[in-house]
Amino acid sequence: MARRQEADAAIRCSDLSIARATRGGPAQRVIDGVSFVLPHAGTLAVMGPTGSGKSSLAAVLAGADEMGLAVVGGDALVEGVRVRHPGRDHRYLTYVTGHLTQSAGARLPARFTVAELIGQPITSRDRRVNARALAVRVATLLDELMLPLGAAAKYPYELSAGMRQRVAFAQALVLQPRVFIADEPFANMDLEVRKAAREAIVRRRSGYGMSTLVVTNDAEVVRELDADILLLRGGFTIAYGHGTSDLLWTPSGDPDTRLISS
């Protein structure tokens, strides 16, 4: 797909507010006035307690068609595409962002093989894809994420939870995204595998400038990826900056280092 005019940042989020429709009741605001900039080749960790809106923010930025989520204020530019009304650019948005949703491994559809699942972002866009080239790309990703080549022909139920998570991880990277939006990507991974998955991110960051927004509450992940931090509570930003000692706390957010040192 042709590159659009070069955006000046991977994500430029300006006073973004997101609401989630609730059954019967009024829409619930899950993100309220959030602003940040993720530069090209940058890494941002979105942290905060459960229900603070991390996954909702990630889904909207990735252009996920999640029922009931809507931008109700401000906007965000992801590789130059407005998430509020992307229109025909929605397809481009989902092409340049690799979205690894929360518990993606556990939610892989059961009727496809691993090779089909990893290749799906490509085959769903181009049915005449070169099968041999696709097989090579799938094999490379399996190897990179320490999955045996034999896994390609298996179905999700034949794999462990950790292996399924790596299949979902590979699927989110198969299009070599410009922005990787990953919701708790290292769930169910042991130390060795987690290192391989982290290196897959770092390799793309230094190789072609992939930017990463990672939802995590693991301070180790923040350190390992040398990430900036956006700390949310109840949909609001309570701190933003780099490193635990360099965070700017908003007036409404009492400094609470427990949130980032757990």
Ligand X SMILES: Nc1ncnc2c1ncn2[C@@H]1O[C@H](COP(=O)(O)OP(=O)(O)OP(=O)(O)O)[C@@H](O)[C@H]1O
Give the binding range for ligand X (CB under 6 A) out of 52-60, 89-97, 119-127, 240-248.
52-60
For 99-115, b/e burial (b = at least 16 CB within 10 A) is bbbbebbeebeeeebbb
Tell me which of 53, 80, 105, 119 binds ligand X, using CB under 6 A: 53
29 binds ligand X (CB under 6 A): no
Tell me which of 34, 40, 56, 259 binds ligand X, using CB under 6 A: 56
Tell me which of 12, 29, 40, 54 binds ligand X, using CB under 6 A: 54
24 binds ligand X (CB under 6 A): no
At its nearest, how many Å lie between ligand X and the CB of residue 8? 27
139 backbone φψ class: left, alpha, beta (φ>0; ψ -120 to 50): alpha
48 binds ligand X (CB under 6 A): yes
The smaller minimum CB distance to ligand X, of residues 102 and 113, is found at 102
At its nearest, how many Å lie between ligand X and the CB of residue 61? 12
The smaller minimum CB distance to ligand X, of residues 97 and 217, is found at 217
178 binds ligand X (CB under 6 A): no
At its nearest, how many Å lie between ligand X and the CB of residue 214? 12
Q: Which amino acid type is present at position 255?
A: P
Instruction: Scan residues 92-151 and list those touching ligand X (CB under 6 A).
Output: 102
The answer for residues whose C-beta is within 8 angstroms of residue 233's C-beta and 6 or more apart is: 48, 49, 52, 253, 259
Residue 227 token pair: 């990430």
* Residues contacting ligand X: total by CB under 6 A: 11
Residues that bind ligand X (CB under 6 A): 20, 30, 48, 50-56, 102
